[in-house]
Amino acid sequence: MKIKMKLGLIVLGVSVIAGCSSTSADADIRHETDQAVQTASDQLNNLANLTEEHVQSVKNGTMNGRDDVTIGEVMEAFFDGPTWQYFSGTDEETEETHDVVEFTGYFLYNEKSAKARIQFLLHEDGTFEMGAGSYNDIDQSELVLGALMEKVYETYDAGNAPDAGEADTTEQP
Give residue 74's pLDDT.
Answer: 96
Whether 165 maps to a domain, the answer reads no
Residue 91: its pLDDT value, please?
81
pLDDT per residue over 15-41, tens digit each? Answer: 333 444 456 667 667 656 766 666 666
Per-residue model confidence (pLDDT) at position 12: 34
Which phi and psi (to 5°) does residue 135 adopt?
-115, 125
The mean-pLDDT minimum among 33-37, 128-132, 159-163 falls in 33-37
| Residue 88: inside a domain | yes
Show Cβ contacts of residue 75 under 8 Å, excluding neighbours closer than 6 positions. Answer: 59, 82, 103, 105, 152
Q: Is residue 58 part of a domain?
A: yes
Of 57, 51, 14, 8, whose CA–CA distance to 36 is shortest?
A: 14
Please compute the mean of the pLDDT values over residues 65-87 and round it to a whole number.
95
The answer as to whether 172 is a domain residue is: no
Query: Looking at the domain assignment, is residue 168 inside a domain?
Result: no
> Considering the domain boundaries, does residue 137 fall inside one?
yes
Q: Is 166 domain-assigned? A: no
Distance of CA 76 to CAs 21, 52, 79, 106, Å?
A: 40, 17, 6, 10
Q: Which of 148, 150, 128, 149 is nearest to 3 (CA)?
A: 128
| Tally of structural domains, the chain | 1
Are the beta carbons of 100 and 87 closer than 8 angstroms? yes
Mean pLDDT of 132-146: 96
Residue 165: band (very low, low, confident or very high) from pLDDT cuts 50, 70, 90:
very low
**pLDDT given for residue 3 in this prediction:** 54
Domain membership flag for residue 171 = no
Q: What 3-state DSSP class applies to 170? A: coil
- Assign 105 to helix, strand or coil: strand
User: Which residues are within 8 A (CB) of 147 and not within 5 positions of it... i.e. 6 or more apart?
Assistant: 173
* Most confident listed range (12-16, 30-34, 41-45, 134-138): 134-138
Confidence of residue 49 (pLDDT cuts 50, 70, 90): low
Q: pTM value?
A: 0.68
Structural domain including 45 reads: 3-160
Q: Which of 15-19, 83-87, 99-103, 118-122 has the lowest mean pLDDT?
A: 15-19
What is the 3-class SS of 47-70, one letter each residue?
Answer: HHCCCCHHHHHHHCCCCCCCCCCC
